[in-house]
Amino acid sequence: MDHQVIDSHCHLDFPKFNKDRDDTIQRARKIGVDQMINSGVDPKTNISSLELSQRYEYIHATLGFSPHLSPEATDERVRQMLAFIEDNVARIVGIGEAGLDYHYFNSNAERNRQIEVFKQVIELADRYNKPLVIHGREAEDVALGLAGHLDKVIFHCYGGDLQTMRNIVDAGHFISIPTLVCFSEHHQEIAKEAPLEHMLLETDSPYLSPRKGRNEPAFITDSLPWISYLKGIQEMDIAEVTRKNTIRVFGL
């Protein structure tokens, strides 16, 4: 590729990359993915995300706490997670992923606990003026209501409705388009409607592969022809504008 692109959300520290992590990273770099943002989801991956960001100058870390964990998490565990983020806040480019997941959690008790934990994470992002990376599956509007007042918010792997997408953008925030856009009609509709100035790109590797098997940051290039076709904008400009957006919102 003659242009560079950023993968704004991946999990290169996950075990799926244990056998070929460095090869995977170099493959991405070679094809033009010049920077990657690796997001922690729990105490263990927060540590490994930090380690990755120290080993590679072009990999940045965000530290978070997945909403999948909060229904079961004790107050003490939540306190420890927040303290770890706070202790390392100078070494990270953002906080998250954190948020809500109403797809996997149906009960009011579970959802209320997610909200309770999320509010504490939001407060931390606010206090340190860090961008917040939100996982808001099937609760995007609720998440926006809770975090919309922050300076910088990124809805990672956005899959909500178009109206909420517009509200996010109107509030000055960002949506991140995953490689799902290569095969999901709903994500194609989002990519078509979302203004490029508020768009980031991500793979969410190792998940959501546009090819068979494991996803990896190099495959972000699969999204470019799709988004280019959907928006009628050249691939080069999609790569460049989303790259600039990512650099600006995360202060890379």
Give the residues lining the site for Zn ion (CB under 5 A). 204
Minimum Å gap between C-beta 108 and Zn ion is: 25
Looking at the chain, list the stretches that DSSP marks H as alpha helix, in order from N- to C-terminal side: 21-31, 43-55, 75-87, 108-128, 140-147, 162-170, 185-193, 223-231, 235-250
**Nearer to Zn ion among residue 203 and residue 235 (C-beta):** 203
Dihedral-angle region of residue 32 (phi above 0 means left; psi in -120 to 50 means alpha; beta otherwise): left
By beta-carbon proximity to Zn ion, the closer residue of 130 and 156 is 156
Minimum separation from the CB atom of position 184 to Zn ion (A): 16
Q: What's the min distance (Å) between Cβ of 57 and Zn ion?
A: 22
Is the Cβ–Cβ distance between 246 and 252 less than 8 Å? Answer: yes
Q: Which is nearer to Zn ion, 39 or 221 (CB)?
A: 39
Residue 233 beta carbon to Zn ion: minimum distance, rounded to whole angstroms: 26
Q: Closest CB to Zn ion among 68 and 77? A: 68
Q: Which of 100, 92, 242, 252 is nearest to 174 (CA)?
A: 242
Query: How far is residue 204's CA from residue 190's CA, in Å, rounded to a whole number?
Result: 17
Is 65 in contact with 78 (CB distance < 8 Å)? yes
Q: Which CB, 36 or 235, lies closer to Zn ion?
A: 36
136 within 8 A of 100, measured Cβ to Cβ? yes
Q: Which residue number places its CB atom closest to Zn ion?
A: 204
